[in-house]
Amino acid sequence: MSERVSLLRAEEALLKPGVYFMQGNIAAAEAALVAGCRFFAGYPITPSNEIAEHMSRRLPQVGGYFIQFEDEIASVIAISGAAYAGVKSMTATSGPGFSLMQEGIGMAAMIEAPIVIINVQRGGPSTGLPTLVGQGDVMQAKWGSHGDYEIVAYLPSSVQEMFDLTIQAFNTAWTYRVPVIVLPDQRVGQMIEKLSVPDYNEIPIAGRIAPEEPPEEFLPFNSKYLVPPMAFAGEGYRFHVTSLTHDERGYPSTSHKISTQLVTRLIRKIRDNEKAIGRYESVLTDDANLVVVAYGITARSALKAVKEARKEGLKVGLFRPVTAWPFPYWGLKEAVDRGADIVVVEINMGQMVRVIREHFANIVNIHSMTWAPGDVPRPHDILVKIKEVYEG
């Protein structure tokens, strides 16, 4: 990286604090630059193209590099390579490309490469509905690659959150050395609305935790830490990294003890920190007899429906998970303890509802409002469902 250039020019080339009218995808690209992203690798796919196009124009202005690769497989792998060379890196895609990236996401989880992937969800399955909305990748984001691992995924619901959560995604990726997925739907990615960019000194930016030991004593996957400090290539640590199950030295191992130690740590570093990472928003849930759970664009429709229901005297609230993974189940606990009914509305055939059932089945009634991809349920559609459950 042209270090000097980026240092001299980066600050002044970033989006100035202020108020903008901006598209979600572009807000995410600008946010990535603010977070320190200086390498983007990707392959064109609707409805995420604005991110790549914007990065191809903006990255050189801040001393960074853009490469349009031959496919999404190369893209997700290249950003892991760049991250290990010490450069914050990102890719963006949609369903078909996200499917192709899965083996690489598993690798990033295994070798603890901090990368950010924005998946602007379109309708599926397969090539599906390239230009239309879907929320069908929620489960894939968590379970898409083989084996046991953890990732973090954010569910932006506005252009503001495309900006804020993309910065947060970089911070989480680098704090926990984990692949982080920003999971907007097509509507949130492509809508244009107000964005407020705060002063940069109000935006915390996380980086790697550097090793303190001299190279001879450095263990790249030291199990003393949940998140081992990270050395970059070229710094003299001369470390080894493998996608095979590995010991603390980074060497392949077939020992069950080592496998247990590694897989447990990869999972624990996220699960033990779920409350620090997980986020949600609750609206009007304090006295609610019925809580609608919705995320992304659907949460905006649901909020309108909740307000309509309130006007009609129904005690209804909205719970909006801001992280899909870890799922912020604790935010629903109070409503569940009160015996509130739960209605999960999502643009898929019932994905997030499974997680809520996992936590709260047999305690309260959990209803699923499924909605095939291609369109957003209108507030009226959700209100009908609310009344059906509330009065039924």
Footprint of other proteins (CB under 8 A): 1-2, 5, 9, 38-39, 41, 60-61, 63-65, 67, 69-71, 73-75, 77-87, 89, 103-104, 107, 111, 232-244, 251-252
State in angstroms the smallest separation of the CB of 58 from other proteins. Answer: 10
Question: Of the two residues 16 and 311, which places its CB atom closer to other proteins in the complex?
Answer: 16
Question: Of the two residues 64 and 97, which places its CB atom closer to other proteins in the complex?
Answer: 64
Record the tokens describing residue 354, joined without a space: 């499974």
State in angstroms the smallest separation of the CB of 36 from other proteins. Answer: 12
Q: How many other β-carbons are positioned within 10 Å of the β-carbon of residue 253?
A: 18
State in angstroms the smallest separation of the CB of 117 from other proteins. Answer: 14
Question: Of the two residues 57 and 268, which places its CB atom closer to other proteins in the complex?
Answer: 57
Residue 195 backbone phi and psi in degrees, to 5: -135, 130
Q: Which helix (H) or strand (E) holds 358?
A: helix 352-360
Packing angle between helix 95-111 and helix 72-84, nearest 10 degrees? Answer: 30
Residue 348 backbone phi and psi in degrees, to 5: -165, 180
Q: Which helix (H) or strand (E) holds 45?
A: none
State in angstroms the smallest separation of the CB of 12 from other proteins. Answer: 10
State in angstroms the smallest separation of the CB of 243 from other proteins. Answer: 5
Question: Of the two residues 72 and 164, which places its CB atom closer to other proteins in the complex?
Answer: 72
Measured CA to CA in angstroms, residue 293 lies from 11, 309, 324, 362 at distances of 39, 15, 12, 18
State in angstroms the smallest separation of the CB of 248 from other proteins. Answer: 13
Exposed, middle or buried, 60 (CB in 10 Å: 0-12/13-18/19+)?
middle
Cα 322–Cα 327–Cα 330 angle in degrees, nearest 5: 95
- Distance of alpha carbon 383 from alpha carbon 385, whole angstroms: 5
Local structure of 130: helix, strand or coil: strand
Using the structure block, give the residue that is written with the tokens 């940069």: 200
Question: Of the two residues 37 and 335, which places its CB atom closer to other proteins in the complex?
Answer: 37
- Is the distance from CB of 309 to CB of 284 less than 8 angstroms? no
State in angstroms the smallest separation of the CB of 63 from other proteins. Answer: 6
Record the tokens describing residue 297, joined without a space: 């664009």
Question: Of the two residues 79 and 153, which places its CB atom closer to other proteins in the complex?
Answer: 79
Record the tokens describing residue 64, joined without a space: 């960074």
Record the tokens describing residue 164, joined without a space: 């804020």
Question: Of the two residues 228 and 296, which places its CB atom closer to other proteins in the complex?
Answer: 228
Question: Of the two residues 125 and 236, which places its CB atom closer to other proteins in the complex?
Answer: 236
Write the DSSP string, 281-318.
Answer: EEES-TT-SEEEE--HHHHHHHHHHHHHHHHTT--EEE
State in angstroms the smallest separation of the CB of 252 from other proteins. Answer: 7
Closest to 125 measured CA to CA, from 146, 97, 103, 96: 96
Question: Of the two residues 52 and 355, which places its CB atom closer to other proteins in the complex?
Answer: 52
Q: Where in 94-154 does DSSP place strands (E)?
A: 116-119, 122-123, 129-133, 152-154
State in angstroms the smallest separation of the CB of 78 from other proteins. Answer: 4
